[in-house]
């Protein structure tokens, strides 16, 4: 079952495309621009980049080291590296968390597919702002349409994962990621030529330090975590397919660079257009499905903009969704000895079924509430605000305190063949700084800090 029979990434570019594909997702394109804009613009950006490098990078590197060392899935990794302990429970938590994230990620991804279709059929042309709101609200509350799109998206995800690491995940991310880059660069360049673009760029880049509150600093850290996909066993599972002679430090830095660049480019592509039409940029999730269609239909060649944008969003969502699905699938294949095609089918259907409740919570199940939230909101809250930080803290404790440092060093330095500077500082951050900072995000979202 180990290294020689196990599938792995064929090329370093493939490994980076897959990992960056996981990191670059809905979080970068729809969440980052308004988070940055409404939390101090350039000041948020500085804090965000600082956290990404100072906290996100060490935790990512730790997760990579664990997965590549064990060459196993999220559950098996802890059984191998911490036999006869309860650490395997953390593996199980990661598998549950990745599946739950995918269950609501699939909802928004399904909407994205509907919007590719609407843009292709030019449905936004000559519609008033109100009509566009109606299109969105009728769609999300429809008794089954959104579930059908979600199922379509999940089947696409399942089909890629079913084909395996090299022939599925690596092959398709190697195509989708470069295309995503080309589209987002083209969109950013055209956005900068719009008349009101300066205001949008200022909103994103001009540092308003007075708007930087403790809250916005913590949101920067939370956003950095979600965006890098750390703490959920995803990086760990993907890293188990990275060949032993690839440099993990180099790969992490490339993934982080790509993720941050796409977030900034998304801001450049979206905010100038929003500003040149005088629309409130803090519209949140509605920004993508309500505001942008309004913006696109008033632009010259708006239909092309809309089609490109929603295809971009689909690629970003799909490359993240396959990384989420791979977590339970790798577990079923390696621990339960189920063949990959069947394992992929089981995981896809189970998660789609679960996810349909999230999707329907915008329509027929609107009135069903858990802790005062709809299914979708509860699932998003639980995963993004609670499970993700807990996962991050546990990774720090495991790699920083439990694991023998010689193992960590040997994995990061490829058995001593690479020179690693600052290893002591690295372990210090992993032991003290990172877990404390992540704990602060957790306490903040739970409202404990504000009392
Ligand atoms: N990183 C992805 C994004 O930015 C989302 C994600 C989070 C994917 C956690 C996997 C795990 O959208």
Q: Are 114 and 149 in contact (CB under 8 A)?
A: yes
Joined together, the tokens standing for residue 215 give 């809250």
Ligand 1 pocket mutation pick from 23, 107, 395 by most atoms within 8 angstroms of CB: 23
Query: Which of these, 378, 326, 371, lies nearest to 22 by C-alpha position?
Result: 326
Query: Within the chain, how many helices (H) and strands (E) appear?
Result: 23, 0
Q: Categorize the per-residue pLDDT at 31 as very low, low, confident or very high, splitting at 50, 70 and 90.
A: confident
pLDDT value for 274? 81
Indicate which residue's Cα is closest to atom 7 of ligand 1.
Answer: 229
Q: Are 148 and 109 in contact (CB under 8 A)?
A: no
For domain 12-445, the CATH class is mainly alpha
Cα dist from 42 to 263, 274, 374, whole Å: 13, 18, 34
The answer to whether the pTM exceeds 0.90 is yes
Cα dist from 48 to 51, 105, 255, 392, whole Å: 5, 23, 15, 17
Say how far apart CA 21 and CA 387 lie, in whole Å.
21
Q: Categorize the per-residue pLDDT at 221 as very low, low, confident or very high, splitting at 50, 70 and 90.
A: confident
8-state DSSP, 418: S
Say how far apart CA 220 and CA 223 lie, in whole Å.
5
Distance 193 CA to ligand 1 centre (A): 31
Distance 244 CA to ligand 1 centre (A): 25
Cα torsion through 370, 375, 376, 382, rounded to 10: 50
* Helix, coil or strand: residue 242: coil
Distance 291 CA to ligand 1 centre (A): 23
Say how far apart CA 164 and CA 119 lie, in whole Å.
32
User: Does ligand 1 have an atom closer than 6 angstroms to the CB of 23?
Assistant: yes
Q: Categorize the per-residue pLDDT at 1 as very low, low, confident or very high, splitting at 50, 70 and 90.
A: very low
Beta bridge partners of residue 45, listed in sequence order: none
Domain boundaries, the chain: 12-445
396 pLDDT higher than 60:
yes
What is the CA angle 14-23-209, rounded to 5? 140
Distance 24 CA to ligand 1 centre (A): 7
**What mean pLDDT is predicted for residues 38-45?**
89
Upper half-sphere CA count for residue 49 (Cβ side, 13 Å): 13
**What mean pLDDT is predicted for residues 318-343?**
98
329 pLDDT higher than 80:
yes
Q: Categorize the per-residue pLDDT at 3 as very low, low, confident or very high, splitting at 50, 70 and 90.
A: very low
Which residues are within 8 A (CB) of 236 and not within 5 positions of it... i.e. 6 or more apart? 63, 64, 66, 67, 74, 77, 94
């Amino acid at each position: 079952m180990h290294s020689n029979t196990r599938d792995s990434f064929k090329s370093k570019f493939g490994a980076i495309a897959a990992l960056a594909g996981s990191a670059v997702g809905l979080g970068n394109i729809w969440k980052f621009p308004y988070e940055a804009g409404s939390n101090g613009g350039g000041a948020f950006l500085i804090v965000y980049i600082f956290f990404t490098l100072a906290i996100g990078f060490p935790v990512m590197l730790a997760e990579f080291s664990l997965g590549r060392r064990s060459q196993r899935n999220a559950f098996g990794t802890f059984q191998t590296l911490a036999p006869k302990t309860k650490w395997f429970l953390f593996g199980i938590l990661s598998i549950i968390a990745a599946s739950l994230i995918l269950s609501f990620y699939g909802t928004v991804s399904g909407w994205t597919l509907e919007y590719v279709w609407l843009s292709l059929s030019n449905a936004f042309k000559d519609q008033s702002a109100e009509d566009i709101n109606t299109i969105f609200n009728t769609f999300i509350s429809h008794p089954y349409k959104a579930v059908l799109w979600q199922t379509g998206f999940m089947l696409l995800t399942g089909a890629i994962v079913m084909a395996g690491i090299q022939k599925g995940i690596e092959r398709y991310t190697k195509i989708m990621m470069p295309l995503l880059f080309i589209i987002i660069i083209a969109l950013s360049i055209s956005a900068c030529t719009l008349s009101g673009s300066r205001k949008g760029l200022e909103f994103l880049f001009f540092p308003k330090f007075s708007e930087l509150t403790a809250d916005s600093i913590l949101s920067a850290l939370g956003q950095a975590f979600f965006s890098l996909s750390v703490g959920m066993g995803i990086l760990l599972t993907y890293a188990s397919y990275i060949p032993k002679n690839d440099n993990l430090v180099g790969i992490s830095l490339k993934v982080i660079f790509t993720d941050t660049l796409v977030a900034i480019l998304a801001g450049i592509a979206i905010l100038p257009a929003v500003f040149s039409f005088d629309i409130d940029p803090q519209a949140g999730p509605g920004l993508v499905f309500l505001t942008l269609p309004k913006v696109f239909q008033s632009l010259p060649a708006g239909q092309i903009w809309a089609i490109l944008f929603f295809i971009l969003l689909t690629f970003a969502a799909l490359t993240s969704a396959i990384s989420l699905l791979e977590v339970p699938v790798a577990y079923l294949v390696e621990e339960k000895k189920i063949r990959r095609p069947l394992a992929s089918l089981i995981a896809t259907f189970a998660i789609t079924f679960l996810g349909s409740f999230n999707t329907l919570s915008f329509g027929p199940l609107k009135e069903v509430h858990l802790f005062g939230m709809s299914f979708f909101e509860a699932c998003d809250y639980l995963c993004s605000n609670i499970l993700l930080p807990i996962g991050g803290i546990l990774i720090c404790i495991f790699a920083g305190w439990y694991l023998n440092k010689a193992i960590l060093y040997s994995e990061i330095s490829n058995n001593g063949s690479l020179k690693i500077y600052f290893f002591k500082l690295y372990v210090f951050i992993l032991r003290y700084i990172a877990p404390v900072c992540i704990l602060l995000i957790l306490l903040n979202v739970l409202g404990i800090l504000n009392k």
